[in-house]
Structure 1
Amino acid sequence: MSVHRLTLGDVLGEHRRGRPLGTAVVDGDVRLTYPELDDRVGRLAGALAADGVGAGARVLWLGQNSFRVLEMLLACGRLGAIFCPANWRQSPDELAHVLDDLAPAVVVWEESEAVEKARGQVSLDARWVASGEEYEAYVRAALPAPETEVPADSPVLALYTAAFDGRPNAALLSHSALIAHSMALLHVRQMEDGFTFLACGPLFHVGTMMFTLATFQIGGTLVFTPAYEPAEVCRLIEAERCTQAFLFGPMIDGLVEANKDRAHDLSSLRFVSHSPEWDKMITVDDSPWCASRMGGYGQTEVGGMLTFLGLGMGGAGYAGRSSPLVHVRLLDAEGNEVGPGEVGEICARGLSLFSGYWNRPELNEAKTAGGWHHTGDLGRREPDGTITFIGPRLRMIKSANENIYPAEVERALKSHPAIADAAVIGVPDDRFGQSPKAVVVLAEGASATAEEIIEHVRGEIASYKKPRHVEFAESIPKKGYTPDYDALDERYGGGAYPGA
């Protein structure tokens, strides 16, 4: 065993010894110290191993936020397996794709109609464990798994993202990549002993997961709530004296409204300035992360953040400078670095980068051409060395902090029997930044209303991805085989893309 090894399991073992009285997780009535969490992780690893989970095997979580997400990740890490918390809001078709693609050995799930339908669509030899009492019995009945040597560079976390071709891909992140990213985030956020994070954003999203793991890394307290609900979030912030939470604009506005009578003391929350009402409720934080308004550039494939505005405040580039544990190059189509002021693809390598996508050898080869991870996004190095994010090479819509890929929505649109062709653009939205607009061409002799089309898409993919507007056209302008999105934007009011 290498003396240089450090895995998530090693971090948990160190907290067991160094923080025997420290609260690790809070979730409803569940409160676990680090030794208690370690005991559960050991038994869960034993249960998973008894069901054939070993090195490289996959375990899937289909449910809302729970402390079980963390302990499942840690248990998989102990076995050299890969854990995936998937988006529980997806349609049956999308969930079936995840089940078929990932081929998990064990699925832990919260019962829902969508999961039941997805389960019926695939042939999968897996152990299914219902979250709740069945899961608890599953853990209680097991013997702790023996210690095994797990390489720190082995993948441990899979997060579905990057629906380049209409279907998402599972980005694989290793122990060492997650630990490296946590250390960079700890530095920029200036996280200190006693840090308490409220995981009120989805744990299948890297934004919530990266703060969960950074809090775990420093031995802080993690507070879980199933989903964002303003009144409950206010209550938990006060009750658990939370330092940080996963929040952005509309969520913050919801908390201000829910706490307008000041029923809850939110002063423990050290967070970003947002509005006069919000700033009076919390403690406005002066760390580089919060003072820069959580700015920077990132994606799931880099563990969360590749650059931090907090490392380049006052600079010309509003994505700041690269994380201390990576390096970034702006490359042209031939793989040559472009000069300051010129636009190139943001490419990177370093300690926090992912290990490729699950079961995508051709895509992985293309994304790592020349020994660099090609993000698929464009940027510019300013004369002062800071970086400006320009926008995706493959166009993406950003709606309320969710990434929506036109190809994915277009695939759902084209499955409607009345639609012959379709394209999706993003249009400005006062509340969400952007919202999807569909431009559709009906098949000859067919008819469909905008409402029918929107409802059809809602049934095919997650509801937040459905178009909010539909335009009917005679044809879709093309550049080669792909839609001419610039022409569509000009004609149908597209705009407000990330980086614009």
Structure 2
Amino acid sequence: MSVHRLTLGDVLDEHRRGRPRGTAVVDGDVRLTHPELGDRVDRLAVALMAAGVGPGERVLWLGQNSFRVLELLLAAGRLGAVFCPANWRQSADELAHVLTDLTPKVVVWEESEAVEKARGQVPLNARWVRSGEEYESFLTGDGRALPGVVSAEVDDAAPVLALYTAAFDGRPNAALLSHAALVAHSMALLHVRQMEDGFTFLACGPLFHVGTMMFTLATFQLGGTLVFTPAYEPVEVCRLIDAEKCTQAFLFGPMIDGLVQANAGGAYDLSSLRFVSHSPEWDAMITVDDSPWCASKMGGYGQTEVGGMLTFLGLGMGGAGYAGRPSPLVHVRLLDADGTEVAPGEVGEICARGHSLFSGYWNRPELNEAKSRGGWHHTGDLGRREPDGTLTFIGPKLRMIKSANENIYPAEVERALKSHPAVADAAVIGVPDERFGQSPKAVVVLAEGASATAEDVIEHVRGEIASYKKPREVEFTDAIPKRGYTPDYDALDERFGGGAYPGA
């Protein structure tokens, strides 16, 4: 065993010794200290091992937020395995893709029509464990003895977390993040957010999203308290902030507005929340935080593949570039198509390497080779180095729509559109949306002799992919302008009102 190793399990074991009375997780009636969490993780690791999970095998979670997500991640990490919390809002077809692609040994799931349907579509040699009583029985097992430490010789460079993202070709890919990468990103975030002892994070955003997961893991790294709630619900979020004295939560504009409305009468004390200034009403309810992270309004540039944030505006406040400067644990270059660094003021692809970067995509050797060419991770996004050294994010090389806090890839929506029997061709653009920043609009060519309404098309897409990805508008046209084999998105934007893309 290397003396330089630091896995997530090592972090947990240190908290068991150093914080024996500290509360690790809160979830409804469940309250666990660090030693209690550690004992459950050890039992779960034994149960997973008995179910055939070993180094490199995958464990899948299909459900809403739960403390069990953290338990499964840590238990899989004990065994050198990989844990994936999948997007529970996906359609049955999308979930079937995840099952087929990931081929997990164990699936822990919450009951839903989409999961039931996906399970029926994919013959999988896996142990299915329903969350709740069945999970607790699975964890308890047959009374087998608990080992003092359940672990193989796990290298901290081994992948431990898989998050689906980057649907470049219409299907998402699972980005693999190692123990070492997660620890490194947590340390950078701890520094910029100025997280201190007693930090309490409310995981009210989706744990399949790197934005929620990165704060969950940074809080875990610090030995703080994690409060879980199944999903964002304004009144319940207000109650939990008050009851648990939460320091931070996963929130952005519309979610904050919902909390202001829910707490208009002042029923809940939200002053423990040290957060970003947003509006006079919000600022009066909370404690406006002056850390670099909050003072910069959580600015910067990131993606799942870099563990969350690659750059922080908090490290370059007052600079010309509104993405700030890189995390202290990464190295960033702006490269042209030949792999040559471009001069300050010129646009190039944002490329990076360093401790917090991912280990590649699961089962995508060709994509991995392309994305890591020349020894750099090629993000697929464009940026510019300003004269003062700060960075500006320009936008994706492959166009992406940002609706609220969700990334929507046109190729994925277009694939769903083209599966409609009346659709001959389709393209998707992003149009400005006052509430969500952008919303997807479909431009559709109907097959000869076929007919369909906008409502027909939208409902079809809703059945194929997650509802938030469906177009909110449909325009019918005679032909999709092309550049080679791909849609001419600039021409479509000009004709149909596209705009407000990330970085624009």
Aligned residue in 2 for 1:137: 137
Deviation, 1:148, is: 1.8
Which of the residues 332, 338, 343 maps onto 1:334?
338
List runs of 5+ in structure 1 lacking aligned partners: none
Aligned residue in 2 for 1:185: 189
1:295 correspondence with 2:299: yes
Aligned residue in 2 for 1:111: 111
- Distance in 2 of aligned mates of 1:41 and 1:394: 40
Q: Deviations over 1:207-242 (max 9, x none)?
A: 000000000000000000000000000000000000
- Distance in 1 of aligned mates of 2:55 and 2:141: 22
The secondary structure found in structure 2 opposite 1:411 is: helix
Aligned residue in 2 for 1:222: 226
- Distance in 1 of aligned mates of 2:130 and 2:462: 26
Aligned residue in 1 for 2:99: 99
Correspondences of 1:270-285 after superposition (within 5 Å): 270-285=274-289
The secondary structure found in structure 1 opposite 2:268 is: coil
- Distance in 2 of aligned mates of 1:153 and 1:260: 48
1:32 partner letter:
L
Compute the RMSD of aligned alpha carbons.
0.5
- Distance in 1 of aligned mates of 2:151 and 2:315: 39
- Distance in 2 of aligned mates of 1:375 and 1:70: 28
1:413 partner letter:
L
1:163 correspondence with 2:167: yes
The secondary structure found in structure 2 opposite 1:262 is: coil
Aligned residue in 2 for 1:401: 405
Aligned residue in 2 for 1:127: 127
TM-score (norm 2): 0.99
The secondary structure found in structure 1 opposite 2:360 is: coil
Aligned residue in 1 for 2:418: 414
Aligned residue in 1 for 2:71: 71
Q: Deviations over 1:111-165 (max 9, x none)?
A: 1110000011111100000000000111112543533210000000000000000
1:12 correspondence with 2:12: yes
TM-score (norm 1): 1.00
1:256 correspondence with 2:282: no
The secondary structure found in structure 2 opposite 1:428 is: strand
2:14 partner letter:
E
1:427 correspondence with 2:468: no
- Distance in 2 of aligned mates of 1:201 and 1:416: 32
- Distance in 2 of aligned mates of 1:265 and 1:20: 29
- Distance in 2 of aligned mates of 1:147 and 1:113: 36
Deviation, 1:300, is: 0.1
- Distance in 1 of aligned mates of 2:458 and 2:498: 18
Aligned residue in 1 for 2:474: 470
The secondary structure found in structure 2 opposite 1:347 is: strand
1:483 correspondence with 2:483: no
List runs of 5+ in structure 2 lacking aligned partners: none
The secondary structure found in structure 1 opposite 2:177 is: strand
- Distance in 2 of aligned mates of 1:151 and 1:103: 23
Q: Deviations over 1:39-94 (max 9, x none)?
A: 00000000000000000000000000000000100000000000000000000000
Which of the residues 244, 247, 250 maps onto 2:248?
244
1:345 correspondence with 2:339: no
Aligned residue in 2 for 1:321: 325
- Distance in 1 of aligned mates of 2:112 and 2:288: 40
Aligned residue in 2 for 1:46: 46
- Distance in 1 of aligned mates of 2:294 and 2:328: 18
- Distance in 2 of aligned mates of 1:424 and 1:227: 29
Aligned residue in 2 for 1:60: 60
The secondary structure found in structure 2 opposite 1:216 is: helix
- Distance in 2 of aligned mates of 1:21 and 1:451: 56
Aligned residue in 2 for 1:23: 23
The secondary structure found in structure 2 opposite 1:36 is: helix
- Distance in 2 of aligned mates of 1:478 and 1:401: 29
Deviation, 1:335, is: 0.2
